[in-house]
Amino acid sequence: MSLAISDNLMKQLPRILRTSTLAKTRMFRIEQLDLEFANGTVVPYERLRSAGNGAVLVVPMLDPGTVLLIREYAAGVGRYELGLPKGRIEDGEDILEAANREIQEEIGYGATRLQHIRSLSLAPGYIDHCTHVVLAQDLYPERRSGDEPEEIEVVPWRLDDIPSLLARDDANEARSIAALFLVREMLADG
CA dihedral 19, 24, 27, 30 (to 10 degrees): -40
Q: Give the pLDDT confidence of 91-145 residue by residue, as tens digits.
A: 999 999 999 999 999 999 999 999 999 999 988 888 888 999 999 999 999 999 9
The three-class DSSP label of residue 180 is helix
Q: What is the mean pLDDT of residues 20-48?
A: 92
Instruction: Please tell us whether the domain made up of 55-189 is placed in CATH 3.90.79.10.
Output: yes
What are the tens digits of pLDDT across the range 47-83?
988 878 899 999 999 999 999 999 999 998 999 999 9
Residue 7: phi and psi, rounded to 5, are -60, -30
Rounded Cα gap, residues 150 and 41, in angstroms: 50
In sequence order, what E strands does the chain have?
15-24, 28-36, 42-50, 55-63, 66-74, 79-83, 86-88, 109-121, 130-141, 153-158
